[in-house]
Amino acid sequence: MLTLEHGIVEFENGKALPDRLIHSRHSHYLAYAERILRLYESGIGKTRQELHRGVHRILDDEADCPSRRIDAFCKLLDEVSEYDTDTGGSAAALRKQIFRSAVPYHPLVKEKDRLFENTESEVKTRIAAELGAPWHDVEKRLFADIMELHRLKAFAGYADARALLSRYNVAQVQVALYRASKMTIWAKDDFKIILRHAKLSNLLHTIFFDQAAREYRIELDGPASLFRETRRYGVAMAKLVPVLLACRNWRMTAIIRRNRGGWKPRLELSPQDGLKSHLSEPEEYDSKVEEMFARKWGDQSREGWTLIREGNILHRHQKVFVPDFTLRHEDGRTVLLEIVGFWTPEYLQAKIETLKSFTDNRILLAVAKTGASTCTELPSDAIHFKTALKLKDVLVRLPA
Which domains does the chain carry?
A: 4-82+158-273 (no CATH), 90-144 (no CATH), 288-395 (3.40.1350)
pLDDT score for 263: 77
pLDDT score for 225: 84
Cα–Cα distance between 341 and 289 in angstroms, integer?
A: 8
What does R_g of the chain's alpha carbons equal in angstroms? 28
CA distances (Å), origin 184, targets 180, 204, 222, 267: 11, 12, 10, 10
Q: Long-range contact list for 57-62, CB < 8 A, 24+ apart? A: 58/32, 59/32, 62/32
Q: What is the DSSP letter of 326?
A: E
Residue ranges, the chain, pLDDT below 70: 227-229, 259-262, 280-284, 286, 310-311, 317-318, 342, 370-376
pLDDT score for 285: 72
Residue 152 host element (H or E)? strand 151-155
CA distances (Å), origin 272, targets 65, 117, 165, 246, 248: 26, 73, 18, 12, 10
367 and 393 Cβ atoms separated by less than 8 Å:
no
Nearest to 19 by CA among 173, 178, 241: 173
Cα–Cα distance between 371 and 348 in angstroms, integer?
A: 7
CA-based torsion, 215, 221, 224, 229: positive or negative: negative
pLDDT score for 292: 92
Q: Is 382 left (phi over 0), alpha (psi -120 to 50) or beta?
A: beta
SS3 138: helix
pLDDT score for 282: 52
SS3 74: helix
Beta strands 9-12 and 15-18 are: antiparallel
> Distance between the two ends of the chain, CA-based, in angstroms?
48
Cis peptide bond N-terminal to 104, omega within 30: no
Beta strands 325-329 and 81-84 are: unpaired
Q: What are phi and psi of 128, to 5 degrees?
A: -60, -40
Cα–Cα distance between 340 and 272 in angstroms, integer?
A: 35
CA distances (Å), origin 294, targets 286, 310, 323, 339, 363: 11, 12, 14, 12, 17
SS3 101: helix
202 and 287 Cβ atoms separated by less than 8 Å:
yes
